[in-house]
Structure 1
Amino acid sequence: MTKALITGITGMVGSHLADFLIENTDWDIYGVCRWRSPTDNVSHLLDRANRKDRIFFRYANLNDQVSLISVVNEIKPDYIFHLAAQSYPQTSFTAPIDTLNTNILGTCRLLEALRLAMHTDTSYKPVIHVCASSEVFGRIPADKKPETGIHEECPFHPASPYAISKTGTDLLGRYYAEAYGMTVMTTRMFTHTGPRRGDVFHESTFAKQIAMIEAGMIEPKVMVGNLKSLRTYADVRDAVRAYYMLVTINPIAGEYYNIGGSYTCEVGDTLNTLISYSTMKDKIQIVTDPERLRPIDADLQVPDCRKFKAHTGWEPSIPFEKTMHDLLDYWRARVNKGEVFLTR
């Protein structure tokens, strides 16, 4: 039986990837999470997990080498999707050491666990996806941005400790491929969102606040940060399909790919789109919150994805409008269940 290992399965992307693999493959899926990881995003999978029906959870921590070695040696996964990370750029400004440790050294620990398993058993040859980020490109000046968008060979200029950590993650993936002959591929996924998106990210906090306003939980004011940043959006469900294609369509050790959607707009336009879907659209005010502004921002995140598309045939299929509708409905459902949230 083919086995896939997903680090960070309880996150937005990891949970959607598990859904995709269950629906579209016959693989067994092993999800790595910390003992304290919230299970909200995988609650619909817990009954299957309890019945040991193709989904299994294993406790490990990127900051604990022994736990990673134990999981890898127990499972010997055929495919590894390394998605776990400290993934919020804003938090990285106040917790840079934790971000660097988790994302750079954590990735190194996982790759070392896999390298050691391959050294012990020379027949073991897993395919490994290391998830970096478009944030590695950081602040590309407008006059330096290629007309076709940010391509793979654009220089890195990370604009946060998070982005620096993902630069290290990216380089580690390529190093282990080149130095040890491991089939590791790295992706720089641009903005991707949809249901289960964490409320610390701009489009999700907008949707959450709108849902809370509609329910009368907060005043009709949406608190915002930088609305001028330019973003290209993909749906998370298109993103996980891309990750599956990455590891199953002629995987090439050491390759690295930009992946992103096809809809580009300013963050302010995203906010206006979500507000236009609201029953309170005529009453909502927009208020800038200084605490939501980054010290510096990666503000021209427009990708050139031709390399990945040419290699795999992948194309995004879910329209931006559906993604935003589904994101808003996700938060409406949570609000309607009576959940209480921090107003962030």
Structure 2
Amino acid sequence: MNLSFYNGKKIFITGHTGFKGTWLCRILLSAGARVAGYSLEPPTVPSLFVSTGTAKDTDSIIADIRDGAKLRDAVNTFRPDIVFHLAAQPIVRTSYKEPVITYETNVMGTVNVLEAVRSCDSVHSFVNVTTDKVYLNREWAWGYRENEELCGFDPYSNSKSCSELVTYSYKNSFFTERNSAAISTARSGNVIGGGDYAPDRIIPDCIRAVESGKEIILRNSNSIRPYQHVLECLRGYLMLAEMQYENKEKYGGSYNFGPDDESCITTGKLADLFCGAWGSGASWKVIEEVDAPHEANFLKLDCSKSKTVLGWYPKWNIRTAVEKIVEWEKSVSSGNSAKEMTDRQIKEYFEEYHV
């Protein structure tokens, strides 16, 4: 891909105040795009969105994805070329506590954004970002392909499966004309990177522990996940949006963006890599939980379609990803600019691999 495609393009992002949304904003801004965002206030304090000052660089609208009329007005006022839908209630454990809000946000939020896209003839490309957890997880040793059965277990995962089905229905019902928007969904693994402050995520938990001089606590050191740096999947989303913009019949559809097998590792191995990169005697231990909510033990994606059709391949393996996170966190903790550090890693990533 060539980021110059996005120079001058108008891009609308739901969920732009979140961790992944902020990184996507920073990439597009560096490419010369005009970016508008629609989201709730940043979900954490501190937040990457605030520390990078991204609100000043974008047309930022703070609003609820469940407000369909307001969202539709925002899209039609901005008249984007491309829409990325990232807004969601993204935490599995939160979904057990707040299932209704999770379904309202993740299912009806998707309906609302697709209605907004349907009402705006400037949109040429739409990508709904879901998760690897949309699949019916059989704890197989091999990765799930895009044509596998969708049936997430917990309210978060299941609501994202529903979001996929909503997108599929809208695509076939309302976006079949040649001049209508290209519609796709993107499924990625466990995303990690600098500036993530979310609760109940392994890397933020590691950072909070070591910065307070405590031992890292793991719930399950043997669960296997497909970990990848946030820039990896975002490059996939950007490639997909660009390629289906040019040819919707050929490239529209569902795609997995996950790491290679070497980066599908246990939580314990990830903690080992983090402690090794952080140094200063960082260590971890396991505390078994009583009556813990269900979480998958093994989950992996087969990304053959993305590699074959789009030409997308992972670039930073898990060791490099962890090193980049530690570099980001230590730099920002020592007083350097979060915005400059984020933009620098984006520049390094895209220049190093000529993408």
Query: How high is the TM-score relative to the length of structure 1?
Result: 0.84
Cα contact 2:210–2:216 (8 A) shared by 1: yes
Distance in 1, Cα, partners of 2:62 & 2:202: 30
Question: Aligned to 1:323, what secondary structure does the other structure show?
Answer: helix
Question: Aligned to 1:113, what secondary structure does the other structure show?
Answer: helix
Using the TM superposition, give the Cα deviation of residue 331 of structure 1 relative to its aligned residue in structure 2, in angstroms: 4.2
Using the TM superposition, give the Cα deviation of residue 15 of structure 1 relative to its aligned residue in structure 2, in angstroms: 0.9
Using the TM superposition, give the Cα deviation of residue 302 of structure 1 relative to its aligned residue in structure 2, in angstroms: 1.3
Who is 1:121 aligned against?
Answer: none
Q: 2:40 aligns with which of 34, 44, 49?
A: 34
Who is 1:102 aligned against?
Answer: 105
User: What is the CA deviation profile of residues 262-306 of structure 1, one whole-angstrom value per residue up to 9, with x for unaligned ones?
Assistant: 21111111011112234343x735141527x85222222211101
Cα contact 2:39–2:62 (8 A) shared by 1: yes
Who is 2:223 aligned against?
Answer: 229
Question: Aligned to 1:156, what secondary structure does the other structure show?
Answer: coil
Using the TM superposition, give the Cα deviation of residue 336 of structure 1 relative to its aligned residue in structure 2, in angstroms: 5.3
Cα contact 1:138–1:298 (8 A) shared by 2: no
Which region of structure 1 is more displaced relative to structure 2, 270-279 or 321-330?
Answer: 321-330
Who is 1:68 aligned against?
Answer: 71
Q: 1:15 aligns with which of 10, 17, 22?
A: 22
Distance in 1, Cα, partners of 2:47 & 2:317: 26
User: What is the CA deviation profile of residues 93-143 of structure 1, one whole-angstrom value per residue up to 9, with x for unaligned ones?
Assistant: 11111101000011111111221234xxxxx3431000111011253233x
Who is 2:352 aligned against?
Answer: none
Give aligned-pair identity as a percent: 23
Who is 1:116 aligned against?
Answer: 119
Who is 1:141 aligned against?
Answer: 139
> Considering only aligned residues, what root-mean-square deviation do their CA atoms show, in Å?
2.3
Cα contact 2:134–2:158 (8 A) shared by 1: yes
Q: What letter matches 1:308 in structure 2?
A: S
Who is 1:310 aligned against?
Answer: 308
Who is 1:79 aligned against?
Answer: 82
Q: What letter matches 1:41 in structure 2?
A: L
Label 1:131 to 1:21 Cα distance change in 2 as closer, same or farther (>3 A).
same
Who is 1:90 aligned against?
Answer: 93
Using the TM superposition, give the Cα deviation of residue 329 of structure 1 relative to its aligned residue in structure 2, in angstroms: 4.2
Who is 1:290 aligned against?
Answer: 289
Cα contact 1:131–1:170 (8 A) shared by 2: no
Q: What letter matches 1:28 in structure 2?
A: R
Cα contact 2:125–2:182 (8 A) shared by 1: yes
Using the TM superposition, give the Cα deviation of residue 170 of structure 1 relative to its aligned residue in structure 2, in angstroms: 0.9
Distance in 1, Cα, partners of 2:210 & 2:326: 8
Q: How does 1:242-257 map to 2 (within 5 A)?
A: 242-251=236-245, 252=248, 255-257=253-255
User: What is the CA deviation profile of residues 138-197 of structure 1, one whole-angstrom value per residue up to 9, with x for unaligned ones?
Assistant: 53233xx54xx2111222231210001100111111111110014210011111211122
Distance in 2, Cα, partners of 1:264 & 1:37: 27
Q: What letter matches 1:284 in structure 2?
A: S
User: What is the CA deviation profile of residues 57-83 of structure 1, one whole-angstrom value per residue up to 9, with x for unaligned ones?
Assistant: 123311111210110110111100100
Which region of structure 1 is more displaced relative to structure 2, 109-118 or 328-337?
Answer: 328-337
Cα contact 1:208–1:332 (8 A) shared by 2: no
Distance in 1, Cα, partners of 2:66 & 2:135: 26
Residue 173 of structure 2 is aligned to residue 179 of structure 1: yes
Who is 2:264 aligned against?
Answer: 264
Cα contact 1:221–1:287 (8 A) shared by 2: no
Distance in 2, Cα, partners of 1:29 & 1:117: 17
Residue 138 of structure 2 is aligned to residue 152 of structure 1: no
Which region of structure 1 is more displaced relative to structure 2, 80-89 or 33-42?
Answer: 33-42
Cα contact 1:90–1:294 (8 A) shared by 2: no
Using the TM superposition, give the Cα deviation of residue 2 of structure 1 relative to its aligned residue in structure 2, in angstroms: 2.1
Q: How many residues align?
A: 315
Distance in 2, Cα, partners of 1:139 & 1:115: 32
Q: What letter matches 1:309 in structure 2?
A: K
User: What is the CA deviation profile of residues 33-92 of structure 1, one whole-angstrom value per residue up to 9, with x for unaligned ones?
Assistant: 22576683134653x754xx6x22123311111210110110111100100100011111
User: What is the CA deviation profile of residues 219-270 of structure 1, one whole-angstrom value per residue up to 9, with x for unaligned ones?
Assistant: x322221221111221101221111101001353650011111211111110
User: What is the CA deviation profile of residues 195-219 of structure 1, one whole-angstrom value per residue up to 9, with x for unaligned ones?
Assistant: 1223421232123212322xxxxxx
Distance in 2, Cα, partners of 1:336 & 1:160: 39
Who is 2:204 aligned against?
Answer: 204
Structure 2: unaligned runs, 5 residues or longer: 1-7, 176-180, 336-355
Using the TM superposition, give the Cα deviation of residue 10 of structure 1 relative to its aligned residue in structure 2, in angstroms: 1.3
Cα contact 2:107–2:163 (8 A) shared by 1: yes
Query: How high is the TM-score relative to the length of structure 2?
Result: 0.81
